[in-house]
Amino acid sequence: MTERLGLTEAVSFALGGIIGGGIFAVLGVVARVAGPTAWVAYLVAGIVVMATGYSYVKLNELASATEASGGAVAFIEVYLHRPTLAGMVGWTLLVGYIGTMAMYAYAFGAYFGAIFDITRLPFLGLPSRPVLSFLVIVGFIGLNLLGVHESGVVEDLLVALKLLIVLLFVLLGVWYGYAHGQLEFGVEQSLRSPDAPVLAAAVAFVSFEGWQLLFYDQESIENPVETIRKAVYVSIPVSALAYVFVAFVTLSVVEERAVAESPDLALALAAQQFSGKIGYVLIGIAAVASTASAINATLFSTALFAKGMSTDDLLPDRLAPTRETGVPTKTLLVIGGLTILLTVYGSLTAITEFASLSFIVVFGAMNALAYTQRDDLVSAIPLVGLVGTVVFLPIFLWHLYVEEFSVFCLVLAIAVTLVFLEGVYFERDELATGVRSIEKR
């Protein structure tokens, strides 16, 4: 019998999902929007996500009383009994996970090229970043098809190593910034642009993605309701503090212009300021390992998530065949192929903002659901998450329309396409019930 995950493993899994790639991939994009107030953006986003975590935990506790549990898709089916809406939320999550993997792959290619000083491939003359991003996705598609995955022990060690590197980065950065009088809280910036941290918080939302994966496979967790509750309440605040301090250090020791020019290498540039080439390479190695690990875990989880949706008739069987044991080959190829298209042809800013929007929508929906289901067990805390996401969404869309019109058009096109396809798909014969177990598989 396989040993079930305890609290330590659950916290490690959640922290690995949150900090795994986000801290290396997103910080530069957030810094471009908020400047020295990036740390405020992460604090605001962390508060909203913490309220969302509370919503997930309480919905899960209430659902467990009816012997039903899971993530967003299962919650909608349990409380609203609307399979069509549950399917639409599931499709939105799939899009968000694809965007997240594309973001990780982008950061992997950027840091790998920076470590080995490869800007263009020899002989071919092609830019190295998109090629490296392509290769890492293809590599993990192959590994997942072969059934190769990280063990729980390896994941625990990787998370511990990441946290140690982040801690050293913060301590050395604060010491260097204090010694040179460079510590910058961004007070003047916040007075000039008080809306910047709020917009940046919306951009940073995807940084906190990962903890909700705990709800998808509760059968493998010991005392799942209580263990997941504790793991969520530990992992989100710890990751938020890590983001706040890393952003504070980075924007204190690196000029905004340098971050704007190389947002994908923001952490490495900061480390180079106070620890030279060694720090630059160390952060680069950590980034490569973290983003690679995050790609592998997310690809596997997303493929199983798609298979679960197909099992309950929320996705076409041709996309996620249910007859295959383990992860379906076609599902991996489709998800991997879409990820490759996005990471090769998209910019880091576009990919990050695209993924963040998906999670703002889904997390906002879960906060709304938790608020409507509140009783003695569920307080008004979900309202904090709901208000936060409701504020983030229009500000974010307006920013895209004004500053990133091409990204706005892409988001609009994908949203219209999804609604059309979902409408066509769900207009078939009435869907079978039994979606409650989708995200437990």
pLDDT at 425: 65
Give per-10-residue mean pLDDT for the chain (441 aa): 73 80 82 90 95 93 74 86 84 89 91 87 81 93 75 67 86 91 80 84 90 82 91 94 93 85 85 89 87 83 80 70 66 91 86 87 93 72 94 91 86 80 60 49 52
pLDDT at 394: 93
Cβ within 8 Å of residue 201, ≥6 positions away: 40, 41, 42, 44, 45, 48, 392
Give the distance from CA 94 to its chain's centroid. Answer: 12
**Cα–Cα dist 114/434, whole Å:** 49
Ordered by start, the domain boundaries in the chain are 7-440
- Do 218 and 440 contact (CB within 8 A), yes or no? yes
**Cα–Cα dist 188/209, whole Å:** 31
Coil, strand or helix: which one is 31?
helix
- Do 147 and 326 contact (CB within 8 A), yes or no? yes
Which CATH class name applies to 7-440?
A: mainly alpha
Coil, strand or helix: which one is 120?
strand
**Cα–Cα dist 280/267, whole Å:** 8
pLDDT at 430: 46
**Cα–Cα dist 260/266, whole Å:** 9
pLDDT at 335: 92
Coil, strand or helix: which one is 1?
coil
**Cα–Cα dist 78/75, whole Å:** 5
Cβ within 8 Å of residue 127, ≥6 positions away: 119, 120, 121
